[in-house]
Amino acid sequence: MTASAVLLKDYRAPAFLIDQVELRFELGETGTRVSSRLQLRRQDSAIDALHLHGEQLELLGLTLDDKPLPAHRYQVTADTLTLFDPPAQFTLGVETLIHPELNTALEGLYKSSGNFCTQCEPEGFRKITYYLDRPDVMARFTTTVVAERERYPMLLSNGNPVERGELADGRHWVRWEDPFPKPSYLFALVAGDLGCVRDQFVTRSGRTVALEIYTEHDKVDQCAHAMASLKKAMRWDEERFGLEYDLDIYMIVAVSDFNMGAMENKGLNVFNTKFVLARPDTATDADFLGIESVIAHEYFHNWTGNRVTCRDWFQLSLKEGLTVFRDQEFSADMNSAAVARIDDVRNLRALQFPQDAGPLAHPVRPESYIEINNFYTVTVYEKGAEVVRMYQTLLGREGFRKGMDLYFQRHDGQAVTCEDFCAAMADANGRDLSQFMRWYRQAGTPTLKARGEYDAAQRRYTLHLAQSCPPTPEAADKEPFLIPVAVGLLDRDGSELPLRLSDETAATGARVLELTQAEQSFVFEDVPAAPVPSLLRGFSAPVKLVCDYSDEELLFLAAHDSDTFNRWEAAQQLGVRAVLQLLAVRAEGHAWSLPSTLAELFARLLADDSTDPALLEQMLTLPSEAYLAEQMAVIDVDGLFAAREFLRKGLALHHRAAFNALVERLAVHGAYSLDGEAIGRRALRNRCLDYLASLESALVHTMLSRQLESADNMTEQLAAITLIAHGEHPARLAALESFYTRWQREALVVDKWFTLQATSKRADTLKHVCTLLQHPAFNLRNPNKVRALVGAFCNNNAVRFHAADGSGYAFLVERIVELDPLNPQIAARLLGALTRWRQYDAGRQALMRGALERILDLRGLSPDVFEIASKALAG
């Protein structure tokens, strides 16, 4: 196929605007009639035609100012409705017929599991009716939903319910009015027979807001945590940013068939069940924390995305990166700030850094796209959040708040750009941030090189910093970024040294240096002895830090740094060095032995009873295979897996007694608790069990069986069944079958069951995954099931997916062939596993390239998959 790109430089303001929209939906089992009345006005007098977007629509009627429009006044194509020479201001009536019951792509209005639901971001509204389906056209919506009462007692849409009634034929209707202008991507409709959990929230100004969470009737007992999370998010946003909710009602609907995690439609958020439903026996600690974060994220969009939205889709990070940052800050305040930051950075490094280094690298604000669905990426979201965090690092929390206040003051009710956000930050703080905009325009992960130099005679420490950024598809040469580098200097006792730069008169504590040139040096005076630098504290910029620390200095930082992120980072770097050292030793033909530095690190950590258990668990976790792969010019899949497993087993043997003692000491007695200390204790205990499980001893097998049988919570159950399934436990198959039998009616637990099997490193995993495709619980049309089984295998099981015979690649091609006609979005996301083919050895390169070529040869290939495959091959 051929597909043309949409370019940022081609943006033009809309020639027409829509002020008011009246929608009427008559929902049916074999078709739905949609009537719309659009109040339009011309904005550009030079344009003599109105082009409306529309896809997969059957046009039933068209009126202009309530009069039928003659056929010669309009033209319909596969994706547009064009009106010729419309007046300067008019009302357009459009009636269409659509088929939600046949919509497997889950875009626009679709029917699934007996309910009607919408997903309109980014361009799904055009599959509902003809419209100016672009984010810079903001209108006030009134929506009337009509359906059979018995089948669909709940009729929901955006805004506030203003009227309802009954019809003689057994149908009923509800009219919703949204008083705030919004783009069409924020439209939502849900109709079904759903249970509801109700609560309320009193805002700081004294208004009472009704809160409602809808889900299947037998799942309402799993909504309490989501409701509590929503109320915490509403209060936090008032206290932290002064932002109050603006409607009379806030609704969440949890659906099982959904392409995304959740969607922030104004007043009616549609969520994947994964991010709403939770009970201690069905959801892990990570699930509870994830729900809290995503509930907050979508609520925070009410201001950063809804009240102020994007001018065009190139500005997507304006709402997503900003809102991810806000939910990260919320999570840090609600839970362990140290662990929250570590999790953020681990995710960034495992997912976004590889994207920045591959053929799909793109700036936080892309310059072009073929299919906008493909730019809902970790670069837009997670790197975008790091860019927003850098504003706060540079300006301070108070300065950042001033910038946010000015942003809302200037742009409430508008569709704006990344430049507008930057200007608000700059103007509110009297700063020139023009160089900072390079973070939006330039792709790639910068490398930050640091070198320290101490002059004992002058009591002077000089920190030399240099930045560079590798070429990426959009540009070979990069201009220097403005990089905030948070630093501290430690004396040999681990105490923080006061810092005074050469042009300063008074010393202060740790500070943020601003690197603006390719190379700069910062001179600190009155330094009594050679310090150990603590660099990039809190991961103050999304860069790769290169500093020639000795092993002893890393051990020192892991033990003494007051910055908890850098304590963890020092432990991670020792783990990276240990793995790479083993690979070098093997290349020289020598036998492996446990690196003494890593053994010493673990001895210190395991003897430490003063560190927060949640942080200690993070420090005891070896670097992931994904992060380790980023340290290699050519990824050695088998070598990385073998070296990491050697270290896991070697550390378990070396510290068996300490691991066993911690397992016993951390055993939880009493009822399940979700407080931070309990979460940390469970995490640390399960980490110790993970090491001990590598020994495959009868004692550990017994410990795992007991935990699986006696645990009153899914966190401990899932840890046990995963270690049983991944190892040589004698009851492995029976345990897997028993686990499924127990939880087969809980779809989200079944998803975990699929994933733990798909991520097993056992040699027969692919064969087993292929068998699971035929399991009654698997459904190719359900995105959660596809992600849980196929996605987990291809993205989270490197050693088996990248099997040297190419069987993993062939498996993925088969799934793309099946999925692309059903759901192109999900198919395209799966294809990401093949995009970095150039980073592997010659044999795997040829196999991966061949898989991509086979995909491109498919007839009727969607733009979603075509864009990913073609860019991967060209990169």
Q: Are strands 544-547 and 447-455 parallel, antiparallel or unpaired?
A: parallel
- CB contact at 8 A, 527 and 502: no
Residue with tokens 């740094």: 561
Residue 704: which H helix or E strand, with range? Answer: helix 698-710
User: 421-424: long-range contacts at Cβ-Cβ below 8 A with a sequence spacing of 24 or more?
Assistant: 421/318, 421/322
Q: How far is CA 698 from CA 661, 685, 694, 711, 756, in A?
A: 17, 19, 12, 20, 22
Residue 170: other Cβ atoms inside 10 A: 11
Structure tokens, 31: 């078709």
d(CA 869, CA 828): 8
Where are any strands of DSSP class E within 658-706? none
Q: Please state the φ and ψ torsions of residue 39, each to the nearest 5 degrees.
A: -95, 110
d(CA 289, CA 284): 9
Q: Are strands 58-64 and 89-98 parallel, antiparallel or unpaired?
A: antiparallel
| 87 exposure class (CB count in 10 Å sphere: 0-12, 13-18, 19+) | exposed
- CB contact at 8 A, 184 and 120: yes
d(CA 74, CA 92): 12
Q: Please state the φ and ψ torsions of residue 318, each to the nearest 5 degrees.
A: -55, -35
Structure tokens, 201: 């929230």
Q: Which active-site residues does the annotation give?
A: 298
- Return the SS3 of 551: helix
Handedness of CA 365, 371, 376, 379 (dihedral sign): negative
Structure tokens, 220: 């309402």
- CB contact at 8 A, 868 and 829: no
d(CA 558, CA 568): 6
- Return the SS3 of 112: strand
Q: Got the DSSP string for 418-484?
A: HHHHHHHHHHHHT---TGGGHHHH--S--EEEEEEEEETTTTEEEEEEEEE---BTTBSS-PPP-EE
d(CA 753, CA 714): 12
d(CA 364, CA 315): 9
Structure tokens, 761: 């490193």
Structure tokens, 246: 């603006």
Q: Are strands 49-53 and 58-64 parallel, antiparallel or unpaired?
A: unpaired
- Return the SS3 of 268: strand
Q: Please state the φ and ψ torsions of residue 602, each to the nearest 5 degrees.
A: -65, -35
d(CA 793, CA 558): 34
- Cα 447–Cα 449–Cα 451 angle in degrees, nearest 5: 170
Terminus-to-terminus CA distance in the chain, angstroms?
19
Residue 734: other Cβ atoms inside 10 A: 11
**The 3-state secondary structure of 354-401, one letter per residue:** HHHCCCCCCCCCCCEECCHHHHCCHHHHHHHHHHHHHHHHHHHHHHHH
d(CA 240, CA 330): 9
